[in-house]
Chains A and B, each alone.
Chain A
Amino acid sequence: MKNRTKLLLLLSALIIAVILGISKGSVSIPFVELFQRQNSAILQLRLSRIVVGILVGAGLGISGVIFQALLRNPLAEPYVLGVSSGAGLGAVIGMLFGASGIPIQICAFLGAVLSIALVYTLAREGSKIPIQSLTLLGVTVAVLFSGIIVFLVSISSNESMYGIMWWLLGSLAVFNLNAMIFVAFAVIIGSVTAYFYSRELNAISLGEEEAVHLGIEVETTKKILFVLSSLITASIVCVAGIIPFVGLIIPHMVRLLVGPNHAILIPASAIVGAMFLILCDIISRSAVPPLEIPIGIITSLIGGAIFIVLMRQTRKVK
């Protein structure tokens, strides 16, 4: 099957997921009636969740692809450099100083960016960023920050601090338009740039020296792509919390579908990531109404199950 055909098929699947996402929810309303005036609030709510789902899913998918290629590590994911715990720590510190609402998201974003900067600075040797040090330091900083978060939450007398735990589990319920525009901006700019770097990513995924031997300025490319994918992740974390597993398994699933060539892997991962998140959100909203299960739990359960099945299937084919 040609790549373009595959992308078109995936895109149609995404459209079906969007329609499902609009029609399913904790209240069941026939699809046509959704567009009547008295239901416009519900429609708007569902649409906004779908838009956030698309942005977050696509962003995490692409950012996972980039990290796995740059670190040449199949276990790499968008949070591998400590972005998530940095964001969490930023939010907790913000709350300690009495922030609430949007300022917390700003604190989270700053925390994420600062933690990435810290990891880079620690890992840097001259003008080079060795990937082994980067991975190890990322994991270490993440554990360190998580420890500090739990410590701060446990000693705080502020009840609302427990809310941070829920926030960290992730949700697509974003009511702030400005935050959404910000994420959209980061994800779109990041994705388009990553797509134009797909040849470099292919070469670097073979090995850094291999890439130099194809005339690629590896260190510069790495810096650009690390910064881009970290910014995508940071902006996603600060509006939607930590949604685990998407950035890890979507690239693997999509590689099984379309192969490892980044020119198709990047757009396909964006589409599948978006679709996956919309479907998980439908389950999170409608499984036990009127409660909402944190979407991070759904992505872990469903993503894990799908992935194990896919892995076993491909092994059989071999």
Chain B
Amino acid sequence: MPVLRIEKLSGGYGASDVIHDVSFDVEKKDFLGIIGPNGSGKSTLLRLISRILSPAQGSIALQEKDIHRIRLKDLFKEIAFVPQNTIIHFPYTVWEIVLMGRIPHLNRFRSETRKDFEIAERSLALTDSLVLKDKRIDELSAGERQRVLISKALAQEPQVILLDEPTSHLDIGHQIEILSLLRKLNRESGLTVLAVLHDLNLAGEYCNRLILIDKGKIIRQGLPAEVLTYQTIEEVYKTVVVVKENPFSHKPYIILIPK
């Protein structure tokens, strides 16, 4: 049974659909990457799955149950979302932010219990961010902030974590750090990861499966080596590339050819 099953999904903003007839499964313990050119609908697809947008057609099922038939609170006990844009207007501490991850599990008239504090603390530990606990979120570097937001997502104790370009504003050191962290969580804690990624090489390196979309449709899906071929990339990105093998990881490695 797949964790998430997306079937014949179409939808977008208002009257115009951005996503057209998209179907795929996310299996348990997948590290699934969604790639595609700018404006191809990657983020829209993710926002349909996280119920920010409503599908025009088709369905999204979490463990065979339509996500629109699940209470919002219950849904976000199972899935968590890490956004791309991480500007926070108010000076919350890291601890306060991570505790917010417990909101789906809490009742309005009950305050956090020791169990919630323990889970929040463990979530911070998992991303090596315990030292940041008492810092203010606006004092952190971009990489630290991203780790804290992943901790907040982990505090929800989700089965699936959705990430919208989690590394887009980071330097290469932090990009590797965040993706390695996700891989560790994926392998050691059995967390299912569904991430929109911009960088094809990083996507090929870390994901066990890739979905390439363009103009709202799936062009190809499968293993990184099946998706990241020079023919497909040239066709979709309209640019000439050479695909080699990374000598260390034996994953596909894309070399850009300047015009």
Contact residues, A245-264 vs B (CB, 8 A): 255, 259-261
> Within the assembled complex, what's the spacing in Å between the Cα atoms of A266 and B103?
18
A205/B89 contact (C-beta < 8 A), A215-B77, A259-B96 known: yes
Which of A202, A213, A259 is B76 in contact with, Cβ under 8 Å? A213
> Within the assembled complex, what's the spacing in Å between the Cα atoms of A235 and B53?
37
Which of A74, A209, A213, A260 is B80 in contact with, Cβ under 8 Å? A213
Q: Does B92 contact A (CB under 8 A)?
A: yes
Name which of B104-112, B216-224, B242-250 contacts chain A: B104-112
Contact residues, B42-67 vs A (CB, 8 A): 47, 50-52
Q: Does B36 contact A (CB under 8 A)?
A: no
Q: Does A302 contact B (CB under 8 A)?
A: no
Which of B52, B89, B93, B100 is A214 in contact with, Cβ under 8 Å? B100
Q: Does A181 contact B (CB under 8 A)?
A: no
A contact residues around B253 at 8 Å (CB): none
Query: In the assembled complex, how far is the CB of residue B227 from the closest CB belonging to chain A, in whole angstroms?
Result: 28
B contact residues around A33 at 8 Å (CB): none
> Within the assembled complex, what's the spacing in Å between the Cα atoms of A18 and B51?
50
Interface centre among A206, A207, A255 (most CB of B within 10 A): A206
> Within the assembled complex, what's the spacing in Å between the Cα atoms of A213 and B152?
11
Interface residues on A, range: 20 to 34
Q: Is the CB of A260 within 8 A of B81?
A: no
A261/B81 contact (C-beta < 8 A), A199-B103, A215-B73, A217-B72 known: no
Contact residues, A176-203 vs B (CB, 8 A): 196-197, 199, 202-203
Q: Does B91 contact A (CB under 8 A)?
A: yes
Interface centre among B47, B74, B108, B109 (most CB of A within 10 A): B108
Query: In the assembled complex, how far is the CB of residue A316 from the closest CB belonging to chain B, in whole angstroms?
Result: 16
Q: Is the CB of B104 within 8 A of A199?
A: no
A259/B92 contact (C-beta < 8 A), A210-B83, A212-B52, A215-B75 known: yes
> Within the assembled complex, what's the spacing in Å between the Cα atoms of A37 and B236?
90
A213/B92 contact (C-beta < 8 A), A196-B108, A196-B109 known: no
Query: In the assembled complex, how far is the CB of residue B60 from the closest CB belonging to chain A, in whole angstroms?
Result: 15
Type the 1/0 row for A203-232, where 1 means its CB is closer than 8 Å to any CB of B: 101110110111111000000000000000
B contact residues around A24 at 8 Å (CB): none
> Within the assembled complex, what's the spacing in Å between the Cα atoms of A69 and B88?
12
B contact residues around A259 at 8 Å (CB): 91-93, 96
Query: In the assembled complex, how far is the CB of residue B188 from the closest CB belonging to chain A, in whole angstroms?
Result: 24
> Within the assembled complex, what's the spacing in Å between the Cα atoms of A197 and B97?
16
Which of B47, B89, B109 is A72 in contact with, Cβ under 8 Å? B89
Q: Is the CB of B96 within 8 A of A74?
A: no
A contact residues around B72 at 8 Å (CB): 212, 215-217
> Within the assembled complex, what's the spacing in Å between the Cα atoms of A209 and B51?
9
Query: In the assembled complex, how far is the CB of residue A232 from the closest CB belonging to chain B, in whole angstroms?
Result: 20
Which of A196, A207, A212, A260 is B92 in contact with, Cβ under 8 Å? A260
Query: In the assembled complex, how far is the CB of residue B166 from the closest CB belonging to chain A, in whole angstroms?
Result: 14
Which of B52, B74, B89, B101 is A74 in contact with, Cβ under 8 Å? B89
> Within the assembled complex, what's the spacing in Å between the Cα atoms of A208 and B41?
21
A255/B101 contact (C-beta < 8 A), A212-B72, A215-B72 known: no
Q: Is the CB of A261 within 8 A of B74?
A: no
A contact residues around B74 at 8 Å (CB): 215
B contact residues around A202 at 8 Å (CB): 92, 96, 100
A199/B91 contact (C-beta < 8 A), A214-B100, A214-B101, A216-B72 known: no
A contact residues around B47 at 8 Å (CB): 209
Query: In the assembled complex, how far is the CB of residue B43 from the closest CB belonging to chain A, in whole angstroms?
Result: 11
B contact residues around A72 at 8 Å (CB): 89
Interface centre among A72, A197, A214 (most CB of B within 10 A): A214
Q: Is the CB of B96 within 8 A of A199?
A: no
A contact residues around B52 at 8 Å (CB): 209, 212-213
A contact residues around B108 at 8 Å (CB): 196-197, 199
A residues bordering B, Cβ < 8 Å?
69, 72, 74, 196-197, 199, 202-203, 205-207, 209-210, 212-217, 255, 259-261
11 A-B contacts, Cβ less than 8 Å apart?
Answer: A74-B89, A203-B100, A203-B103, A205-B89, A214-B76, A214-B100, A215-B71, A215-B73, A215-B103, A260-B90, A260-B92
